[in-house]
Amino acid sequence: MSDTPSTNPYTQPSGVQDPDSSPIPSPAYPQKTARFSVFGSIQTIATYAFLLATLFTLFTPDNLFSDQMIKRVFQAWQANPTEIAQLNTNAAAGSQDALPIGIVSGHWKNDSGSVCADGTTEEQVNLTIATLVQQGLVAQGFKVDLLEEFDTRLSQYKGLVLLSIHNDSCDYVNDAATGFKVAAAIHSAYPEKATRLTACLIDRYAADTGLSYHAGSITNDMTYYHAFDEINTETTAAIIETGFLNLDKQILTQHPDVVAKGIIDGLLCYVRNENVSATAVPTP
């Protein structure tokens, strides 16, 4: 939607002199005073309130001097304050112009990922879970894009949220190598949204699957995941490794519906702005 600068020209009435040069004095008329306009006052207040609210929203350390911020300030300055845009929330799910949810199936159509001794590949497990997540969200009324690992649609992808689904190694590491991991973009344009998305996924996924949060093994490959730098800065994104394909293999391969439900509930928590327990917020 493009904003059209509003034009509101004002013409100030000029005084009219009597052209008659007759010495006979003209009758005196009381000077008129400008009437107080309630509508004009409300419009002025709305204009300043709109601009101030926009500037405070944009004032975050990460995007204060970014190109995106400058563009938004310019757009806000041009926007007509009498036209209030609708907030894009869960209520828009199923509508014609609703933003989609993006689900990246890790390694899909790129490589096999981890390969287990019995021939099971991470790519296969990821795709099974991602497909179930897509189906579950569609049943909730959302548009959902199932994306490949290096899908061309990731370039400037704009959605309600984007999540990439992966799994950890098939190899036995130690008895502690069990559980899931979640990470958002380390340089997210909206860190508060990224933190909330992460917290929602941790809280709901742990509750549904019974798996523990394995924060100690989060790597740079997760926090610097390639898609984070490809998508539109308006899209909040995260990556989840749903478990280890060794000690967690049973739930990942035999109960992918449970795994998918944990992801779906986490995404719905974020999109619907549901409550999250304080313990779910990851500590740095």
For residues 62-91, average pLDDT: 39
pLDDT on residue 69:
44
Q: What is the pLDDT of residue 127?
A: 98
The residue among 189 and 22 whose pLDDT is bigger is 189
**What CATH number has the domain bearing residue 122?**
3.40.630.40
| Model pTM score | 0.68
Yes or no: say if 91 and 107 are a contact pair by the CB < 8 Å rule: no
The pLDDT assigned to 216 comes to 86
Per-residue pLDDT at 130: 98
Instruction: Tell me: do 193 and 223 sit in the same domain.
Output: yes
Mean pLDDT, the chain, whole residue set: 78
Q: Structural domain of residue 120, as residue ranges?
A: 97-280
pLDDT tens for each residue of 183-211: 998 888 899 999 999 999 999 999 999 99
Together in a domain, 128 and 200: yes
Q: What is the model's pLDDT at position 5?
A: 41
The verdict on residue 129 lying in a domain is yes
pLDDT in tens, 6-17: 433 333 334 434
In a domain, 125, yes or no: yes
Domain membership of residue 154 (yes or no) is: yes
User: What mean pLDDT comes out for the span 66-88?
Assistant: 38
54 and 191 co-located in one domain: no
* Domain co-membership, 120 together with 177: yes
Give the number of domains in the chain: 2
Q: What is the DSSP string of the chain?
A: -PPPPP-----PPPP-------SSPPPP-PPP-PPP-HHHHHHHHHHHHHHHHHHHHH--TTTTTSHHHHHHHHHHHHS-TTSPPPP-SGGGTTSTTPPPEEEEETTTTT---SB-TTS-BHHHHHHHHHHHHHHHHHHTT--EEEE-TT-GGGTT---SEEEEEEEE-SS---TT--SBEEEE-TT-SSHHHHHHHHHHHHHHHHHHH-PPB-GGG--HHHHT-GGGGTS-TTS-EEEEEEEETTTTHHHHHH-HHHHHHHHHHHHHHHHTT----GGGSPP-
Per cent of the chain over pLDDT 70 is: 64
Pair of tokens at residue 70 = 């400058």
**Which of 158, 204, 199, 168 has the alpha carbon at shortest distance from 182?**
199
Reported as a single tens digit per residue, the pLDDT across 130-179 is: 999 999 999 999 999 999 999 999 999 999 999 999 999 999 999 999 99
Same domain, 106 and 205: yes
Q: What is the pLDDT of residue 40?
A: 55
Beta bridge partners of 213: 180
Q: Is residue 46 part of a domain?
A: yes
Provide, rounded to the nearest whole percent, the portion of the chain with pLDDT above 90.
60
